[in-house]
Amino acid sequence: MRELTAGDVLYEEYQSFDHAIFPHRGVISLLARMEDGRTVEKASLGNEGFLGFTYLMGGMGAIGLTVVQIDGYASFLRMSDLDEAMDTFVCVRDAMRCSTIPRRRSRS
């Protein structure tokens, strides 16, 4: 568990993930840098999700500048530990899969 402080850069764009980050409080923003140096928010993340989704989908790095927007705290889990848990425990693999893949409605 670590504190999140507004303005902290968690990952630069394309930086490889070394930790999955699960916010409990606060807000993390994924930003795109414009050619003129300004930034625009692509997505925001709170306690409903985690940072590292692109890693689970086969990517290796952050899809944008990742910055804390609102103070809080988060759990940081090494990617190697997440990989091991998903390989070892079916329940973890299923939980991560359910959090990243939309469920299909069954036809009745």
Q: How many residues does the chain have?
A: 108
The tens digit of pLDDT for each residue in 29-60 reads: 999 999 999 999 999 999 988 998 777 777 77
Classify 91 as helix, strand or coil. Answer: helix
Inform me whether the pLDDT recorded for 9 exceeds 80.
yes
pLDDT of 30: 95
pLDDT of 26: 97
pLDDT band at 102, cuts 50/70/90?
very low
pLDDT band at 104, cuts 50/70/90?
very low
The tens digit of pLDDT for each residue in 58-97 reads: 777 888 999 999 999 999 999 889 888 888 888 877 777 6
Inform me whether the pLDDT recorded for 100 exceeds 70.
no
The 10 Å CB-count burial string (b at 16+, else e) for 46-74 is: eeebbbbbbbbeeeeebebbbbbbeebeb
Q: How far apart are CA 3 and CA 70, in angstroms?
A: 11
pTM of the model: 0.79
